[in-house]
Amino acid sequence: MGPFRTRAEVEAAVRAEILRTSLGGLPCAYKVTVAEYFQDWLVRNKPRLVKNSFEDYARIIDHLLIPAVGELKLVKLLPPHLQALYLVLGAQNMVANDLVPAITERLAATRTHGGARKLQGTWQYPLSAKRIRKVHAVISSVLTDACEKGLIVTNPATHTGLPPVAKEPPMMWTQARVDAWRETGQKPAKVMVWITEQCVAFLHHLAEVGDRYFALYQLAMSRGPRCGELLGLRWPDVDLNAPGSLTIQGTKTERSRRTIHLGQANVVALRHWRHAQQRERERSGLLWTHSGLVFTDPWGKRVSRHTLRERFLHLSDEAGLPPIRFHDLRHCAASLTLAAGADMKIISDTLGHSSYAFTADVYTNVMPYNDHQAAEAVFTLLGREPA
């Protein structure tokens, strides 16, 4: 009879022996656990992944997937296991089948409640549908690799249902919405965008307090680079000769690799910042970290996203402005560029969106100027003038 119960186990064992060298010495396929394969995948793929992407993959694998189903044999991982994981991630308390209670208990150590922020290794529950889809994308990518190497026949992630992502288009902070927010404390939508006057007020406040990252915030608000793109920007990729430009090497997709023109105000602000950074370097001496990054802390080290975001929230509150997230400065850049009369295709290229259609779809609700002009144009055609 042999040690195998089924023909599938025999075939998996043969494939594993053939591929054992390429897998860095992992045991036979039918003995490889989910934890072993996913950790091996992380090691093999670290060189090709951007730092932020690798860290996000590692968090998902080490703190969500492995605690939940890591002890399972890879060949035994089924769609119901992943479905149960996603159900747990999407709810505080859920008992849908026998798998869910076990996964809930295993993930207990990674949970944080009471509105706490996401920390290294901990997650605020429930996860959003968008975040669950990110978790799924990571899992699916690794399992696709396992399929290509012949360790599993099919990818169980392809047969797993996912929660729908509700589209939340940006909304402008009109005066009426600001008044309602001040009265109730409730934001009208998750994604809010400052109008032009609010953007101007924020920059004026930064100038008044002499904030060290004035150039960063102005660049984010006027040209819309992503947070990761700003924090990973290096001086060799910045041209401060008029009219000025910067080259984004790309952190997400092929279209995210692009050149953005700065505008004179950004050129001036970045020149001032470069001089300030040079003075900090001279004062720090041997303590300075030669990172080559444009935006650094007082010792030349990379600025953390958390630090930048917390600082932004503090500054906007200090300026008396309604709340937006740091990422929403990107939406401010799009709405300001629209108001200036730029074509949607240019805005899509500047922001590095995956497609023009995505840009047009997202920013339908942040076109008050264009919509106002269109409304007046319609009445002009109808021969109706204001009374």
Tell me what pLDDT residue 324 has: 95
Tell me what pLDDT residue 5 has: 66
By DSSP bridging, strand 238-239 and strand 192-193 are unpaired
- Find out whether 222 and 265 touch, Cβ atoms under 8 Å: yes
Tell me what pLDDT residue 52 has: 75
Query: How far apart are alpha carbons 25 and 20 in whole angstroms?
Result: 6
Q: By CB neighbour count within 10 A (0-12 exposed, 13-18 middle, 19+ buried), where does 72 fall?
A: middle
Strand partners for 258: 248
Query: How far apart are alpha carbons 44 and 57 in whole angstroms?
Result: 13
Q: What is the pLDDT along the chain (387 residues), one digit of tens a residue?
A: 456 667 766 665 565 555 554 444 445 556 889 999 999 999 898 888 877 788 889 989 988 899 888 898 998 899 999 998 898 888 766 555 667 777 777 777 666 654 444 545 556 678 888 889 999 999 999 999 998 888 888 899 998 888 887 777 788 899 999 999 999 999 998 889 999 899 999 999 999 999 999 999 999 999 889 888 999 999 999 999 878 888 887 655 566 688 888 888 899 999 999 999 999 999 999 999 999 999 999 999 999 888 899 999 999 999 999 999 999 998 888 888 877 777 777 777 787 776 666 666 666 555 555 555 555 555 465 555 554
φ, ψ for residue 238 (rounded to 5)?
-115, 125
Q: Domains for the chain: give ranges and CATH numbers.
A: 7-159 (1.10.150.130), 171-378 (1.10.443.10)
Predicted TM-score (pTM) of the model is 0.69
